[in-house]
Amino acid sequence: MNESLWRVAEKKREKADADARALEISTTMARRIPNLEEETVTDPLTGLLNRRGFLPFVENAIARLKRQGEGGRPVSIIFIDTDDFKSINDRHGHKIGDKVLKEVGRSLKEHVRGADKVSRHGGEEFVVLLEGASEEDAYKKAETLREMVGGLKIKLETQEEPLSFTVSLGVASMSWDDDFDDPETTLIDHANQAMHRAKEEGKNRTVLFSSD
């Protein structure tokens, strides 16, 4: 083989190698992208939606409510905060604190409807979206969740008696004719305000949002 033919053959081999590497990288990225996308909307500790992953579900639920008009059933939010969580961390350590959050998240997920969405909003806070649930329905569900969490127990190596804990909950609802600026953020904020009132009133209770 003369030198010119050898160079042509070598360039073809180099191109084939480069194409093979590019295909391998592309295939690897195609496999990784769904995982990366899931990671960006999922809380790594509890496996629940994070705030970023949760908000579009609220937006879509409100959009459906608006399209349905007068016959549409309300959209409700339950905002949940783990009572005295800092004390749990300080007294028992972050490992136990993480177990508490995992147990709360798991239990919330198990005790809502399949269509409902549960999110770890941040820290010790969780948010539940109830589509098609009135304020009364949401309050009843919140009380069920509160009692359920209150019955959870975590075994401790440092003492015989297991650790129990409570949550405070706030409930807010939106009807088809409510007109809020930035409605999804407003609805969550209303539930958050109600949760803080529950804290102020003694914790381990559910409070409905009131604008008064």
Question: What is the set of active-site residues?
Answer: 124
Distance CA 119, CA 122 (A): 9
* b/e sequence 190-209, b meaning 16+ C-beta within 10 Å: bbbbbbebbeeeeebbbbbb
**Tokens found for residue 97:** 């604190």
Q: How far is CA 207 from CA 136, 172, 178, 196, in A?
A: 11, 9, 20, 9
User: Residue 89's CB: how many other CB atoms inside 10 A?
Assistant: 16
Selection from 37, 42, 51 nearest residue 122 by Cα? 51
Residue with tokens 């529950």: 198
